[in-house]
Structure 1
């Protein structure tokens, strides 16, 4: 990152420095993949778009590989960003992919990722999705006894076999997660107390049990909590492995978080890496001969994406300045507050053509939709705005376009590009 970002902008948004580190700045202008917003706009013939930086994706994976034990396999969770060029880029960087729908399965296959390195998870797979997984030859992550028996019947009908993993809902949770996906009553996985009773059944007939999968939570910024969850997972593996002679991998899940909001501190990757080195040495006998998988989505791609729109109006109301852009919650639901979450907090945002200018008074940045929920930034300190400025939302590479209601109020779809 160039040194031409005005320090008052970095002071006004503490999370902005880390978010900007993936990009360059030339004469006060944000560049993504070496291109200015105006250049990207000309290429796309669009003024509202997501731009993803190829080099930022590469750097994130390289840093992870440098810090983590060399034996750990990285899998990309396609749901985080299913944009085709991003999926193909990630296929060249990671060891496997995790999908949760037939369309994601096709994206992963068409990226060149071998089917045997693709896992299909999700608590409500239909028979047609299971049949697609069988035909493709990917690994099916089973989330219930009923799903296991349906897959067995489909294999017998097709006179074929399938490789499977059992997704476990363990008794413990990942503390401090944005979303807890394990511990207690959950839609995901098979309760730990039920898994042992299913081991004989799943290892007979047309299914081959080759792995276990635990995903305890997401968006976690606490290294100690992540490592504690991994320790508990490996302790559970010590009980399971002697009963599963054909086991090939153990998926520890992911949950690595991204700092979106002012109070967020980046995950201490050094601590996670050092802790995982220690854990894998401690459990060396348990994991001997197994692949240890980390399944990451948001953490791999969030930093590399920027959502950009154009300022189309500026007005005042009762002493507040409103900056109106042509982009909004229909394209970036998470940034807007997910249709009115109780506490709305700002993502790191900026005027992409004014990085070298000092901040002015607080601004309300809103979109064009006819709803008061269409808020892009609330009382944020930015440089003095002008019509035509480029408004940018950083940390937008994950759960952006595909996780937003693009048909809402019929304003049209958002463009995307990988540079």
Structure 2
């Protein structure tokens, strides 16, 4: 996962030099994003597809960068579907997620989504009524909440235990029997998404092995002929130890061996990755307003906060950061600074939960320096409570894809 820090830092410095106020900004490196997506897609074995889960980051420049590279987009709401179709009329789309409204099911059918991932018998029944009324057909996957004895838990679990996600495996037979009477709903296969934040490549391979084994058993037991298994996403980013990321090379190599040995003939395997594709392309920059010592702790207060960058609080970690020195100081009095100490980086909000990094060692940080948080390209700005305290939104800009990069890939 390549980070183009020199280009990113130069762009942030230029923006700070041009700003009349302390800088608060998001920067997205689209060339870095393109390279990461190419790396992942090109290493997938034959018979595998990658759909980008746009919930991670649905900015239009991000989607425009990824559209020529991935096999399609995964959406989880009517709003996401409308956004994609407004800008990408022909890109294949799959629609996942619980609690779909009738209006969202109707839009999915009308917008010709490639596949609907159905979460319950109730949802199947409501879809059948829509198809009966419109005279159309729709391909579906059944999302199954599968209990596995060997399931290694991560910090975020969506299955393998009681959750609101998916159809319990014990209800599969009832759903299949019901589907026999509704040929307008075409069962294309199964969808699994039991967990997120997976950092262990071998554990993830073990999970996929269990998925394929179970699907094989169901196909034999119920005499099913299916076309695909969607294994979800779930591959995480190691925010705590950024030098120890998920080993994609080991995973893709192991996946190839797994499919050779245990794959289902003629059945495609789909991934829907979000965080792993876009996290490394984003950076959140805060300029230091104040440095305070209080009761044995040092707080670095930057312009912005968790209302812009909620990832650290949502994940419960101290986010890694870089300090970019800014030599200018606009005041007559000396500026505050700390060296070779541990600090907590906070924002401007009126809550102690506005904490982006804690007990983090720094060589030197001074008022007016820049603190830059990497791995801010997924579930960062897009999950934050932007308008709390009515602070202004951060600046946002994009480092472009290198000229001719997409054309060169198509020719290759």
TM-score (norm: length of structure 1): 0.84
Tell me what 1:3 maps to: none
Kindly indicate whether residue 1 of structure 2 is the aligned counterpart of residue 23 of structure 1.
Answer: no
Alignment counterpart, residue 299 of structure 2, candidates 294, 317, 322: 322
Aligned to 1:254: 233
1:221: Cα distance to partner?
A: 0.7
Deviation at 1:244, TM superposition (A): 6.7
Contact 1:86 1:418 in 2 (8 A): no
Distance 1:306 1:252 in 2: 29
SS at match of 2:165: coil
Q: Unpaired runs of 5+ in structure 2? A: 327-337, 400-412
Asked if 1:170 is matched to 2:170, the reply is no
Cα distance change on mapping 1:266 and 1:192 into 2, 3 Å: same
Structure 2 counterpart of 1:95, from 64, 67, 71: 71
Q: 1:125 aligned to 2:100?
A: yes
User: Aligned to 1:49, what secondary structure does the other structure show?
Assistant: strand
1:176-255 alignment to 2 at 5 Å?
Answer: 176-203=153-180, 204-241=182-219, 243=222, 247-255=226-234
1:349 is aligned to 2:349? no
2:33 is the counterpart of 1:57: yes
Structure 1: stretches of 5+ with no match in the other structure = 1-17, 26-30
Query: Matches of 2:385 and 2:224 in 1, distance apart?
Result: 46
Answering whether residue 277 of structure 2 is matched by residue 300 of structure 1, we say yes
Aligned-partner Cα distance in 2 for 1:48–1:152: 49
* Separation of aligned partners in 2, 1:148 and 1:264: 44
Among 121, 127, 130, the alignment partner of 1:151 is 127
TM-aligned CA deviation for residue 46 of structure 1: 8.6
SS in 1 for 2:125: helix
Residues 189-235 of structure 1 show CA distances to partners (whole Å, capped at 9, x for unaligned) of: 11112113322422523211123111121111111210111001001
C-alpha deviations, 1:354-393, integer Å up to 9, x for none?
A: 7xxx962222221111111112221222242233221111
Aligned counterpart in structure 2 of residue 283 of structure 1, from 249, 262, 265: 262
Question: Shift of the alpha carbon at 1:401?
Answer: 0.9
Which of 43, 47, 52 is 1:67 aligned to?
A: 43
Q: Which whole-Å CA distance do the structure 1 matches of 2:211 and 2:226 have between them? A: 15
Residue equivalent to 2:402: none
C-alpha change, 1:401 and 1:223, in structure 2 (3 Å) is same
Whether the 8 Å CA contact 1:308–1:391 is kept in 2: the answer is yes
- Which shifted more, 233-242 or 39-48? 39-48
Q: Compared with structure 1, are the counterparts of its residues 23 and 244 closer, same or farther at alpha carbon in structure 2 (3 Å cutoff)?
A: farther
What is the root-mean-square deviation in Å for CA atoms of aligned residues? 2.6
In the superposition, relative to structure 1, how do residues 42 and 79 fare at CA in structure 2: closer, same or farther (>3 Å)? Answer: farther
Task: Give 1:296 deviation, angstroms.
Answer: 0.7
How many pairs were matched up? Answer: 384
Q: Distance in 2 between matches of 1:56 and 1:264?
A: 17
Aligned counterparts, 1:320-399, within 5 A: 320-335=297-312, 337-338=313-314, 344-353=316-325, 360-399=340-379
| 2:247 pairs with 1:268 | yes
Higher mean displacement: 104-113 or 394-403: 104-113
Distance (Å, rounded) in 1 between the aligned partners of 2:117 and 2:129: 16
Evaluate the alpha carbon distance shift between residue 126 and residue 261 of structure 1 in structure 2; reply closer, same or farther with a 3 A threshold: same
